[in-house]
Chain A
């Protein structure tokens, strides 16, 4: 596969996954405020905080209310990581690799983009959870179409890699919203409000049902464990990194590599750390710090991926 194509396909996948996750953030928050009319905690400000772009937001928008945050996260094409910006970029990347992905997956992404673009104006005026639910369903359809219509060759593994690295990053950010910003005081743990918020967070990763089946009741440690270390839930961080490691191995064997690449070393070291850390250790050491370090490692993995696969100049 061409290096340029591998890079574009990887970013296409990351950008679409990012758009999906932003829709998830907004969807659950819009649902949550319906159940929580008295605004015990402000649900919007933390959504801006976790982007890491709160300065930019404050300068352009000022107050973090529903309308501003939805516009910023979902439809602001001046913001480099809004849902619409990501979809535009994903589609542009898909156009550049159109001959590599299946026709169905291009058409699905194309429809996905048009759906968001066509509704942007109305949703800026009056955002609805229903719309963001539709976005999530579009994203799920797209990933399903990709997985069922493409050969699971190197191209698909680059797609999977992009998707899983982005998903690990976003799952960690969702958790960070809750732990760091929504609930600064430990006394609130176990209250009705808290329960609602944790449920909401589980809903944001489509993990509510899976969690309930295993644990029935909300429990901070168990929820954190579910987010970080669940072995088979597709949006847990461990599960994402394990999948990314597997795809990387497939890419490497397809690329005929006999050396261990830098990115492989990094991902295996992260996997090792996740497999050998307990939730107690995470909480004792500070979850925000844990997540912060995780995000730095994920960024480093992204950089090495570029160096190892996207800029080759040596003959095979």
Chain B
């Protein structure tokens, strides 16, 4: 998972006026410290949709919340949703830290997010079709050609390809953040193999068990149909001549950190989870080796990176993929989701041009804002960045996972000089953004609640350009360390359940409905 890289605001607001509620247990003493809080307003009064939840929290003795959090963490451990701590030779296992206080997203805000994400996916698909074929957006001078051609994720091997239904990004996880005004920004699009949706489903599963009464009171939209939708989408994008497509999930194997998710999704869809060594290319088709001999495969939901897909075309040393796969793909005999080459559209530099893409392809104004982004490739932007390094967050385009980042206001002079040098020698590789004050949420710390910064990753499925579906929910990641903006699980980040409130007429999650478990 990517980590959030904005800087925190260091100012703390003075003591705020307190509502009588606050004196009650659990939320007592809670302070927003001047940050935008997802659950309560600046006076620590519950936001309208969060009333039932906040009432519950204040009615519980502080220890009770902690007890339920422990119960949920034990359940997750029992379910084997763990990763191994490699530094520990005894094979200690840990779950991704879970926080019991859910995030609540109002139906109005969700409507905005839903519309904005759909618009964005439509534009990104158009861009991917264009950039691997006619390249009109480049010819029009909207996106500089050299930015495309120098992008490591732009695969020359995919030039001229047209995936079925013109869909390149079938599954997307877009990272959103909110600033101090509560406005939503897209932080980045993850178009390659976005992970985390299994946490969304399993977090919900354990929360329903532990807080049935709030579920009844809160009108929460269900997430449990995600895997059915995913399977339906994958069938719909199968090669058109196939009547009853065989769908598989392709994983790098049990040692991959997201392996649990791969097996979970395969199990929930009822399809085979395959590794590269289970697949073979024969007669221009892909087959899997079964106890009944070879069986043809039509759709691969691949969870391995482009570079490892086919040793004949990409990295020749890769043993994770399937030799000859790209040729089958080119012949139209297999669907790969997501299509190889989609990474060019989530490059950190290309990100800056997504609003222009929306205007160009759709003739619409972007619904969701992007974070103001300075592209160091551009001379004017570069000069601005170099002279404002102490205010900006600088990111290397070729890095992820929190590497190659300078948080200007917190950096030393030496670090800033190092980045200035790196920017000058390879401007294509750098962007800069202003620092945002990320929104916060009450989070269990010891035996009480404190505000911690959060982001949100909703998941989007696309089977046709006009058929985009957004899971009403998402992965809320929370930076558990005080003051930290790093939500990455490897760096002390955890997750929360995300409750999207239903509008009148929309289905709600019933605690009696079949769970995803």
* Residues of A in contact with B (beta carbons under 8 Å apart): 1-6, 88, 92, 95-96, 98-100, 103, 106-107, 110-111, 117, 154, 251, 254-256, 309-316
Contacts and interface: CB of A to CB of B under 8 A. Distances in A.
A107 B287 CA distance: 31
Nearest to B268: A99
A255 B291 contact: yes
Given A95-B259, A110-B78, A111-B78, A312 B295 contact: no
> Which of A99, A103, A117, A315 lies at the interface centre, i.e. has the most chain B CB atoms within 10 A of its CB?
A99
A251 B292 CA distance: 10
B289 A313 contact: yes
Contacts of B275: 4
A98 B263 contact: yes
Contact of A313 (B80, B91, B253, B280): B280
Contact of A95 (B263, B289, B292): B263
B421 interface: no
Interface string B436-453: 000000000000000000
Contacts of A310: 291
A106 B80 contact: yes
B60 interface: no
B293 A314 contact: yes
B interface bracket (residues with beta carbon within 8 Å of A): 20 to 34
A312 B278 CA distance: 10
22 contacts: A1-B290, A2-B289, A3-B291, A4-B278, A4-B289, A5-B272, A99-B263, A99-B266, A99-B271, A100-B267, A107-B78, A107-B79, A107-B80, A110-B79, A110-B80, A117-B91, A309-B291, A310-B291, A313-B280, A314-B294, A315-B287, A315-B293
Contacts of A309: 291
B288 interface: yes
B288 A2 contact: yes
Interface string B310-321: 000000000000
Contacts of A107: 78-80
A18 B278 CA distance: 28
B39 to A, nearest CB: 32
A238 to B, nearest CB: 27
A241 B273 CA distance: 31
A312 B254 contact: no
Contact of A1 (B253, B259, B271, B291): B291
Contacts, number: 83
B274 interface: yes
B292 A316 contact: yes
Interface string B56-67: 000000000000
B292 A256 contact: yes
A315 B291 contact: no
A314 B78 CA distance: 40
B21 interface: no
Interface in B255-284: 259, 263-264, 266-267, 271-275, 277-278, 280, 282
Contacts of B79: 103, 107, 110
B517 interface: yes
A4 B292 CA distance: 12
A314 B288 CA distance: 10
B325 to A, nearest CB: 17
Contacts of A5: 272
4 closest residue pairs by CB, A with B: A316-B293, A99-B267, A99-B266, A98-B263
Given A99-B264, A314-B293, 6 more contacts: A88-B91, A95-B80, A95-B263, A254-B291, A316-B294, A316-B295
> Which of A2, A92, A96 lies at the interface centre, i.e. has the most chain B CB atoms within 10 A of its CB?
A2
A96 B78 contact: no
A312 B290 contact: yes
A3 B266 CA distance: 17
Given A2-B272, A96-B254, A251 B291 contact: yes
A255 B80 CA distance: 31
Contacts of B267: 98-100, 103
A255 B289 contact: no
Nearest to B270: A99
Contacts of A311: 289
A255 B287 CA distance: 16
Given A95-B254, A103-B517, A107-B79, A312 B259 contact: no
A2 B263 CA distance: 14
Contacts of B517: 103
A110 B75 CA distance: 12
A117 B254 CA distance: 20
Contacts of A251: 291
A190 to B, nearest CB: 49
Contacts of B272: 2, 5, 99
B433 to A, nearest CB: 40
A103 B264 CA distance: 10
A166 B289 CA distance: 26
